[in-house]
Amino acid sequence: MSETLTFARAITEGLRSALESDPKVLVMGEDVGRLGGVFRVTDGLQKDFGEDRVVDTPLAESGIVGTAIGLALRGYRPVCEIQFDGFVFPAYDQITTQLAKLHYRSRGRLQLPVVIRIPYGGGIGAIEHHSESPEALFAHTPGLRVVSPSTPQDAYDMMRAAVASPDPVLFFEPKGRYWTKGDVTTGAYPSADDAGRADVLNRARVARRGDDVTLVAYGPTVATALKVADALAAEGTSADVVDLRAISPLDVTAVAESVRRTGRCVVVHEAPSFLGAGAEVAARVTEECFHSLEAPVLRVGGFHAPYPVAKLEHEFLPSVDRVLDAVDRALAY
Amino acid sequence: MPHTTPGAPAGGPDGAPADVTPLVQLVSPTGERVVEPDNAAYRSRVDHLSAGDLRDMYRDMVLTRRFDDEATALQRQGELALYAQGRGQEAAQVGSAYALAPQDFVFPSYREHGVLHVRGIDPVDRLRMYRGQDHGGWDPAESNVHLYTLVIGSHVLHATGYAMGIQRDGLVGHGDPERDAAVITYFGDGATSQGDVSEGLVFAGVNSAPVVFFCQNNQWAISEPTSRQSPAPLYRRGEGFGVPSVRVDGNDVLACYAVTAEALERAHAGGGPTFIEAYTYRMGAHTTSDDPTRYRERAEEEYWRQRDPIDRVAALLRAEDGWDEAWAAEVDAEAEALGERLRTGVRELGAPPATAMFEHVYATEHAQVTAERAWFEQYESETGHATAGTGATR
């Protein structure tokens, strides 16, 4: 079955499918129940699944994730919502010292199938702490999977795979894309085994085929990269756009396959470039594709400054023009 | 202005603590039954315990003490990387653990050796973490005891979430002692300052979760006395969260049993959480790396040595003709055997193979781990380093 859904609604339907398929799945967070979440991503779920499964929690992020860990130890599969990116840090300790490590620490005896949904990224004119991109901080922690969809179809598929996954998943939702629409095809809910191997949690997606330069992006910047590719096409340059989907694990194979063909690579994300996911991509591409490279791998990201006031965010975020500038520099080598 | 000078003893110059009334106490430090102030509600919870039951508690406290002493010695001999001593807290731990039903689940911090003993966790397994051989050491599903947690207070939220799971499983409020389940979580006076402990109380309170918050106030968080953690008595902490609270003499095994039984009964019945402050004393150092002579007075240690929880049970047994020399000799022999078993068992714990560090990072394949493990194995085979464990004698 296929229908046209907004990005946000695709996540809702992914959650609904998980709640219907597995009675152990819970949704929990601040305002996720009656209100349906501040972005309405959980709209209608409490009405359909009850207050014990779609839980309005106290206003305490560490408490949300800490109790989710306890629920997971009891056999539940909690999906936690952190209301905004900048508010994940009270839970950072629970995520990095506990959630990420309990499977390892117990030598596999304990499983932590917890999903942490984080609306992230900028471009919506918000006030401080509502526009950040902290994904690299989590990808640096072994034991966590870190993913970010860029299309409604991936949002739906990746949410279901994340909930079914036996590993903890940090699910970064590009909030600036919530209102975009796309066709979404629904299917059978995956088993834990299927989810663990699911391509959507492990494999990059080629969003556009091209031969002259590789644009690597994920989440909100995939749309930017596609606009860049359109602009380049008008100039006679064809860009390969690789949508990583996951930054942990990083699908180095897919990126390297592309760069070996194009010889040039530009990585785009909203998070600051310094020590961001793009730095890892650049290092790995250099290792894997050294003899194919015609130019150094370039990065376009946020600056090493706190996320600026909304009036300046469009200068901070990687714009089509800034990516085009980087592509021009790569092509000029 | 601070309420006390940092580093000052917790109580007066004779080492006695500040006023600790009210305090649930059923046995005095010299071994007499206590009836005043009225504690009939708690006395009734220990009426069924026979002299044999008391002897069992004594035995488990002695074995816990012996475990502690042997582990400390093993650390001194270089067999353990570190050890956190529980000396002095045997009554709080054994008494509370005796009140648990088999289906109840325990979230310890890292000093609950007496609880683990009562729950039947192998003594050698209890030291794997401290030997640097394993980050855990036992299977939580076998003993209903979660692994030790070193990040102070983090596990209090896990306990609360686990209790919320028990609620969703429909396992409270049936009046069936073999079915109704609850959670107990142990933490110290220092942990009460952690946000996670307060958040645990918030979540447990609003959800009426079946969890017992068992705070062992051993009066020292490494070098900081409880006065550096709270200007108010800790047992009052629960009140503001809507959680019934009680302070108990943590060196009185029967009182600890009674208040825990009351709290578990409430939890099992669907009455929600309870906060217990067990007022006790850390007779040893924080860990084998600590030196308490730098921050506390001999007089205080002596005051508490005179109130040793094990001596109290022995005095009670003697006062009530429950002491038996032949049995006491058996307990001593059992403690000797435990010591021997630990000395041998810990030394026989080999190191895991190097490749074990790549195992169970994820439950399903992760390309980064797979690639790094493959590289490591290749590197080891080319450079001739052994990837196998270092064997039983390590």
Q: What is the ipTM of this complex?
A: 0.97
Up-side HSE of residue B138: CA atoms within 13 Å toward CB? 21
Angle at A240 between CA A239 and CA A242, to 5 degrees: 135
Q: A60 and B199 in contact by Cβ < 8 A?
A: yes
Q: A63 and B135 in contact by Cβ < 8 A?
A: no
Do A133 and A18 have their domain in common?
Answer: yes
Do A178 and A217 have their domain in common?
Answer: no
Residue B17: pLDDT band with limits 50, 70, 90 = confident
Percent of chain A with pLDDT over 90: 96
Which of A58, A34, A91 lies closest to B242 in space, CA to CA?
A58
Q: Say if residue B18's pLDDT is above 90.
A: no
Q: B151 and A98 in contact by Cβ < 8 A?
A: yes
Do A176 and A223 have their domain in common?
Answer: no
Percent of chain B with pLDDT over 90: 91
Do A307 and A210 have their domain in common?
Answer: yes
Tell me the three state secondary structure of residue A246: strand
Overall domain count for chain A: 2
Residue B8: pLDDT band with limits 50, 70, 90 = very low
Do A180 and A46 have their domain in common?
Answer: yes
Question: What residues of chain A lie within 8 A of the CB of B141, using their CB?
Answer: 109
Q: A76 and B157 in contact by Cβ < 8 A?
A: no
| A71 vs B141, B165, B365: nearest CB | B165
Q: Say if residue B391's pLDDT is above 80.
A: no
B338 near B67, Cβ under 8 Å? yes
Report the CATH number at residue A245: 3.40.50.920
- Tens digits of residue pLDDT in A116-163: 999 999 999 999 999 999 999 999 999 999 999 999 999 999 999 999
Please state, in angstroms and rounded to a whole number, the distance separating the CA atoms of residues A277 and B293.
49
Question: What residues of chain B lie within 8 A of the CB of A251, using their CB?
Answer: 367
Give the amino acid at A248: S
Do A243 and A229 have their domain in common?
Answer: yes
Q: Which of A200, A226, A248 is the last residue of a domain?
A: A200
User: Which of the residues A67, A248, A288 would you substitute to probe the B interface, choosing the one with the greatest number of B C-beta atoms within 10 Å?
Assistant: A67
Nearest residue of chain B to residue A105 (CA atoms): B135
φ, ψ dihedrals at B298, nearest 5°? -55, -40
How many other CB atoms sit within 10 Å of the CB of residue A306?
12
- Tens digits of residue pLDDT in B171-192: 999 999 999 999 999 999 999 9
Question: What residues of chain B lie within 8 A of the CB of A75, using their CB?
Answer: 165
Do A247 and A166 have their domain in common?
Answer: no
Q: Does B353 contact A at CB distance below 8 Å? A: no
Do A147 and A161 have their domain in common?
Answer: yes
Q: Which of A179, A200, A221 is the last residue of a domain?
A: A200
What is the average pLDDT value for chain B, to the nearest integer? Answer: 94
Q: Which of A174, A200, A226 is the last residue of a domain?
A: A200
Please state, in angstroms and rounded to a whole number, the distance separating the CA atoms of residues A7 and B180.
43
Angle at A270 between CA A266 and CA A271, to 5 degrees: 100
Give me the domain span that covers residue A324.
205-332
Q: Does B237 contact A at CB distance below 8 Å? A: no
- Does domain B40-348 bear CATH number 3.40.50.970? yes
Residues of A carrying an active site annotation: 130
Q: Does B53 contact A at CB distance below 8 Å? A: no
Please state, in angstroms and rounded to a whole number, the distance separating the CA atoms of residues B275 and B234.
9
Question: What residues of chain A lie within 8 A of the CB of B110, using their CB?
Answer: none
A187 or B258, higher pLDDT: B258
Q: B364 and A167 in contact by Cβ < 8 A?
A: yes
φ, ψ dihedrals at A146, nearest 5°? -125, 120
Inter-chain Cβ pairs, chain A and chain B, closer than 8 A: 153
Question: What residues of chain A lie within 8 A of the CB of B161, using their CB?
Answer: 66-74
Q: B165 and A70 in contact by Cβ < 8 A?
A: yes
pLDDT for A28: 98
Do A160 and A240 have their domain in common?
Answer: no
Q: B361 and A145 in contact by Cβ < 8 A?
A: no
A242 near A258, Cβ under 8 Å? yes
What is the pTM for the complete model shown? 0.96
Which of A53, A7, A27, A38 lies closest to A173 in space, CA to CA?
A7
Do A196 and A209 have their domain in common?
Answer: no
> So where are chain B's domains?
40-348, 351-394
Q: Which of A187-191, A317-321, B334-338, B348-352 has the lowest mean pLDDT?
A: A187-191
User: Which of the residues B155, B158, B375 would you substitute to probe the A interface, choosing the one with the greatest number of A C-beta atoms within 10 Å?
Assistant: B158
Nearest residue of chain B to residue A72 (CA atoms): B162
pLDDT for B95: 98
Do A187 and A46 have their domain in common?
Answer: yes
Do A185 and A311 have their domain in common?
Answer: no
pLDDT for B10: 52
Q: B162 and A249 in contact by Cβ < 8 A?
A: no
B35 near B326, Cβ under 8 Å? no
Task: List the beta strands (DSSP E) in chain B.
Answer: 105-107, 183-188, 211-217, 220-221, 224-225, 245-249, 274-279
Q: List A3's β-bridge partners, or say none.
A: A184
Please state, in angstroms and rounded to a whole number, the distance separating the CA atoms of residues B157 and A28.
15
Q: Residues B225-245: what's their mean pLDDT?
A: 96
Please state, in angstroms and rounded to a whole number, the distance separating the CA atoms of residues B24 and A114.
41
pLDDT for B386: 55
